[in-house]
Amino acid sequence: MAELHDILLRPIITEKTARLNVSENTYVFRVGDSANKIQIKEAVEQVFGVRVSRVRTARMPGKPKRFGRHQGHTAAWKKAFVTLAEGDTLNFYEG
């Protein structure tokens, strides 16, 4: 099994994900490219001590960028939408 820091890279905290936190009890994480739903579920449960009821994943494509006269693109990445069981919450702002 992969290490936890290879599976969960960081939480994604934006206005849109904050609305998901409140309305659907869903949290969004940037995850490793090779992480699957079962590994993500086990990692969240182990790190945060909560129960996960559902995991959805999405591949985010790289965006084209220009660097002066040179053209390139950003790297593709993967994100996971983790829905927690009723009564469980995460707080990323506490110390």
> Which residue type occupies 11?
P
**57 close to 78: Cβ distance less than 8 angstroms:** yes
**Residues belonging to the chain:** 95
Q: What is the pLDDT of residues 72-89, one digit of tens each?
A: 999 999 999 999 999 999
What is the average pLDDT across 19-45? 95
DSSP summary character for residue 42: H
Cα gap 79→93, rounded to integer Å: 20
Identify the CATH homologous superfamily for domain 4-84. RRM (RNA recognition motif) domain (3.30.70.330)
Position 95 pLDDT exceeds 70 = no
Residue 2 is predicted with a pLDDT of 76
